Amino acid sequence: MCGIVGYIGPKPAVPYLLDGLKRLEYRGYDSAGVALLGEHGLQVLKTVGKVSQLSLKVSRARSEHVGFGHTRWATHGVPSEANAHPHLSADGKIALIHNGIIENYQPLREELKSEGVLFRSETDTEVLVHLIARHYHGDLAEAVRIALGLISGAYGICVLHQNEPDRIVVAKMGSPLLIGLGADESFIASDQQALVGHSDRFIVLEDGEMAVVRATDVSVFTVDMQPVEREAIELAEELERIDQGDYAHFMLKEIFEQPRTISDAFAGRLLPEEGGVRLGGIAPVIDRLKACKRLILTACGTSWHAALVGEYILEDMLRIPVEVEYASEFRYRNPVIDEDCCVIAISQSGETADTLAAMKEAKRKGALVLGICNRVGSAIARESHAGVYLHAGPEIGVASTKAFTSQLVVLILLAVHMGRLRNLGYNHGRQVVDELRALPGRVQEILDSSEHIRAIAEKLAGHNNALYLGRGPFFPVALEGALKLKEISYIHAEGYPAAEMKHGPIALIDENMPVIVIAPRDDNYDKVISNIQEVRARRGKVVVVATRADTKLAELADEIILIPEAQPITLPILAAIPLQLMAYYTAVKRGCDVDQPRNLAKSVTVE
Ligand code: F6R
């Protein structure tokens, strides 16, 4: 969602603000703005579009030493300069940036309007700056504290007052906020990435906390004015400076990184001699995990697709019931959960608001809650009783790719680990371990055939619809292929269990409908062949993802993409790779903004 950065210290603020916003831009990119406080008072500069547009308006040579910046993902009000943050109080003395949603903004807006406040934007955020102004009597932190007591919803905010140039007041509820500590300078960021190269120690603000950030000190307290002692954390060593390398897009780089990210997901975790795995992160809860009788996997989007594949793997290896829930629906349907249940939340960002809410609900009901996520120290990591990190490195392309395959690897590891504590034999465990070790090389083989996939994608680019079909664990892979295509190329795509096609979607098939069938050799193979025949009988164009030794499908398909032979457990990972490449090349051919597709943002921190 929105990106937030702030600076107070001896140096000019603008270079950090612009660099930080650029690094956080993948979180939201419809408009951007900065507030700067200096000898000319408080100034706000905003623009519609990306941070590069803002850079044209905000000279790096500016001298202000205090300021903050924001890159927006619109929730209330279209992307426009008026709706972009920072928002100003009516007297122009207070500036505010906000990540989150103020749920009760409508009655507050009406109330403020009836008092004569003139609103300049359609945003929910603007009510907060006016409320702070209403309660300002010479103490900004106190005014912020009172105003926050009047709103409900989620927020990460930064506030400046022209008369208090030595401080930025910040507060957090639901949306991430970090304070980087430097020598005589302080940094604010909604994500560690913005701090890389500026500050290697930072404080994490927790929900219900505020801070007064000065150049030389930071005081943290609760919204009830209780002082908080918070240890500073070292910036994670593995945090890389975001770098696109020689790739045309981050998404392509991230797809091609997968041989490494997959091996990083299992590095140091395989125990071939024992036919098992080691997962240090869940060791503290292992007895409870051993005793659990039911698993619920919860996640959103691509991570939800990983959960669906995981359902097959875990159920097969553990022989206990495994369910998958959309995190966004979870807490609204009063799920049946007890202490024998383990809820596993899966998330790349570790910040997704719906997933966090689902975890809190599961905890409230007494479940053991595990987190599988990529971002070390993220909200989801902190909310779980224990968990496993993906170690995939930062994922910048808005469409998730490498995190998905790492999630599948970690789910396999979890299945082996839990399985070996139950009935899974050594030979089975060992076979899976060997399969994982062979996986990076197999992924590389697929990447080496990217030109063939590009040629197929360029034909797909001329269509407006596509259908993805798969059976068993390849059904969620079909869902994921369709999601990738629609997100970045804006082609309408649907994923279906192959056999379901004849119950409705078959009506769509004609010579203009490309049908992508994921059909590696497994137990369902012959059945999928029948489904392909049904498509062909209606003149649909068939693109098949098949395993290399396949002899039948080449004759049936219009196009065939071959993946290496492997045991069924890793085939969903292999099958996902060509679908990622196909979506990527299709979007490029259609001239789309691959890394920052319209309307989307990385890390959905609002419900
Ligand atoms: C799709 C995509 C989203 C995310 C979803 C959950 O390419 O990236 O569907 O998977 O918003 O995000 P995380 O995994 O960060 O919780």
Distance 273 CA to ligand 1 centre (A): 36
Mean pLDDT of 456-482: 97
Q: What is the pLDDT of residues 503-555, one digit of tens each?
A: 988 899 999 999 999 999 888 888 888 889 989 889 999 999 999 988 888 88
Q: What is the pLDDT of residues 473-514, one digit of tens each?
A: 999 999 999 999 999 999 999 999 998 988 988 899 999 999
Q: For residue 2, indicate whether it is catalytic.
A: yes
300 close to ligand 1 (CB < 6 Angstrom): yes
Query: Is the per-residue pLDDT at 578 higher than 90?
Result: yes
Whose alpha carbon is nearest atom 4 of ligand 1? 301
CATH number, domain containing residue 282: 3.40.50.10490
44, 96 contact by CB (below 8 A): no
Domain boundary among 241, 257, 281: 241
Whose alpha carbon is nearest atom 16 of ligand 1? 347
Whether residues 580 and 458 share a domain: the answer is yes
Which pTM was predicted?
0.85
Residue 379 banded pLDDT, cuts 50, 70, 90: confident
Query: Is the per-residue pLDDT at 238 higher than 60?
Result: no
Q: For residue 292, indicate whether it is catalytic.
A: no
Residue 35 banded pLDDT, cuts 50, 70, 90: very high
Cis check: omega of the bond before 272, within 30 degrees of 0: no
CATH number, domain containing residue 35: 3.60.20.10
**Mean of per-residue pLDDT scores for the chain:** 93
What's the confidence (pLDDT) of residue 239? 62
Whether residues 317 and 373 share a domain: the answer is yes
Residue 73 banded pLDDT, cuts 50, 70, 90: confident
CA 123, chain centre distance (Å): 24
Question: Would you say residue 491 lies in a domain?
Answer: yes
Distance 410 CA to ligand 1 centre (A): 17
Question: Would you say residue 386 lies in a domain?
Answer: yes
3-state secondary structure of 577: helix
Domain that holds residue 292: 244-443
396 close to ligand 1 (CB < 6 Angstrom): no
152, 103 contact by CB (below 8 A): yes
Q: Which atom of ligand 1 is nearest to the CA of 301?
A: 9
Q: What are the E-state strand segments in 73-200?
A: 87-88, 94-102, 153-161, 168-173, 178-181, 186-189
Whose alpha carbon is nearest atom 11 of ligand 1? 301
Q: Which atom of ligand 1 is nearest to the CA of 403?
A: 14
Q: What is the pLDDT of residues 133-188, one digit of tens each?
A: 999 999 999 999 999 999 998 899 999 999 999 999 999 998 889 999 999 999 99
Q: What is the pLDDT of residues 42-64, one digit of tens each?
A: 999 999 988 999 999 998 889 99
Torsion of CA 245, 248, 252, 253, to 10 degrees: 0
Question: Would you say residue 427 lies in a domain?
Answer: yes
Torsion of CA 72, 76, 82, 87, to 10 degrees: -70
Query: Is the per-residue pLDDT at 601 higher than 60?
Result: yes
